[in-house]
């Protein structure tokens, strides 16, 4: 409060702040400088989101003193045009619904929002995906020369494929009149926010899998796609996997740690085996893995119980 007060009255001409604080501080200034557009998140450096950048530069301007204000964004040459377009409001928002359509369709069926194919198609017509596919078909894998009817046919085809995929795993029940309703397995998938690929992975388990098999299956789930394997972590992970002079994980993997799945597997076993991990980034990743992992295992327990009924 002392620093904020000194800045407000002009005793402090310059105020340095972290990105988090910058988004929470209500201290307008004539000039705002964003020193870098990169930040450390999820175990790697990435660009700030557009909303974060706009919120930070939005601090520029003091209505009670100024009629103009200045915001400076310091970024790499490779991303310069991106921010020029953003500030000129020329950036177009595209949909990503097509990448996760099957999970959304299942959730809407569980909620009884969608009960037949015609309603499913009407639902898609109400989304940003439909609007943007008409404007920019090539972005969604459609031929650029397609007319409206052609794009609608492609979206309907995509919708039907996803519905058939859900039906093939007994996540929904479809009758000959293309009406459908949710099953218990579909409800569990929606309740626990599980991806279709994860359900598919576990759908064929026999019940004879070992603990090692289950850990390997869980480590390969799509829910862990944001976990990155960094070069500087490999030594620590390989030591956790195999080391004659130290306590190692219960089910060591063959070879050296070289994939995301092997890293996730190793960290799951290390945490369950109470093996201390000194690396801070790996500790953070472990916490993230267990947030997703606990959700997956709760779903798996309920899913298997439902299958046995």
The CATH number given to whatever domain includes residue 158 is: 1.10.10.10
- Candidates 179, 191, 221, 223; CA nearest to 203 is 221
Task: Say yes or no: 103 and 25 in one domain.
Answer: no
Domain boundary residue among 61, 87, 113?
87
Give the pLDDT band of residue 213 (cuts 50, 70, 90). Answer: very high
Give the pLDDT band of residue 101 (cuts 50, 70, 90). Answer: very high
Task: Say yes or no: 36 and 118 in one domain.
Answer: no
Q: Please compute the mean of the pLDDT values over residues 179-207 and round it to a whole number.
A: 93
- Measured CA to CA in angstroms, residue 210 lies from 90, 198, 217, 279 at distances of 54, 18, 11, 30
What is the overall mean pLDDT for the chain?
A: 89
Domain span at 40? 2-87
Cα separation, 172 vs 164, in Å, equals 9
**pLDDT-above-70 percentage for the chain:** 96
Task: Say yes or no: 126 and 54 in one domain.
Answer: no
- Measured CA to CA in angstroms, residue 208 lies from 61, 185, 212 at distances of 66, 21, 11
- Number of domains composing the chain: 3
Per residue in 15-54, pLDDT tens? Answer: 888 776 666 667 778 899 999 999 877 667 888 888 888 8
Give me 77's structure tokens: 């040459």
**Cα distance from N-terminal residue to C-terminal residue, the chain:** 61
**CATH code at position 228:** 1.10.3380.10
**CATH code at position 19:** 3.40.50.300
Confidence (pLDDT) at 78: 92
Q: What is the pTM of this model?
A: 0.73
Domain boundary residue among 87, 106, 121?
87
Task: Say yes or no: 74 and 110 in one domain.
Answer: no
Could you tell me if residue 73 is inside a domain?
yes
Could you tell me if residue 92 is inside a domain?
no
Could you tell me if residue 243 is inside a domain?
yes
Domain boundary residue among 53, 87, 121?
87
Task: Say yes or no: 59 and 157 in one domain.
Answer: no
Could you tell me if residue 80 is inside a domain?
yes
Cα separation, 190 vs 193, in Å, equals 5
Q: Please compute the mean of the pLDDT values over residues 91-104 and round it to a whole number.
A: 90
Give me 198's structure tokens: 């994860």
Task: Say yes or no: 158 and 257 in one domain.
Answer: no
């Amino acid at each position: 409060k002392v620093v904020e007060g000194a800045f407000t009255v002009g005793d402090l001409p310059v105020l340095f702040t972290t990105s988090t604080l910058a988004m929470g501080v209500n201290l307008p200034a004539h000039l705002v400088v964003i020193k870098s557009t990169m930040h450390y998140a999820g175990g790697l450096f990435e660009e700030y989101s557009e909303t974060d950048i706009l919120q930070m530069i939005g601090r520029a301007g003091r209505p009670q003193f100024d009629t103009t204000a200045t915001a400076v964004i310091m970024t790499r040459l490779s991303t310069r045009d991106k921010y020029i377009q953003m500030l000129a409001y020329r950036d177009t928002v595209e949909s990503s619904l097509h990448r996760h359509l099957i999970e959304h369709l299942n959730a809407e069926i569980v909620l009884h929002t969608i009960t037949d194919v015609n309603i499913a198609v009407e639902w898609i017509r109400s989304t940003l995906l439909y609007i943007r596919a008409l404007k920019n078909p090539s972005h969604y894998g459609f031929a650029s020369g397609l007319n409206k009817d052609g794009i609608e046919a492609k979206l309907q085809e995509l919708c039907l494929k996803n519905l058939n995929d859900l039906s093939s795993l007994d996540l929904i029940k479809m009758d000959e009149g293309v009406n459908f309703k949710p099953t218990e397995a579909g409800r569990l998938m929606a309740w626990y926010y599980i991806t279709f690929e994860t359900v598919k992975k576990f759908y064929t388990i026999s019940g004879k899998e070992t603990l090692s098999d289950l850990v390997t299956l869980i480590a390969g789930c799509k829910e862990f796609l944001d976990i990155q394997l960094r070069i500087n972590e490999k030594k620590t992970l390989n030591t956790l996997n195999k080391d004659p002079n130290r306590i190692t994980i219960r089910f060591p993997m063959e070879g050296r740690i070289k994939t995301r799945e092997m890293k996730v597997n190793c960290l799951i076993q290390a945490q369950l085996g109470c093996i201390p991990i000194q690396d801070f980034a790996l500790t953070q990743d472990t916490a993230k893995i267990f947030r997703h992992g606990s959700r997956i295992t709760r779903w798996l327990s309920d899913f298997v119980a439902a299958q046995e009924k």
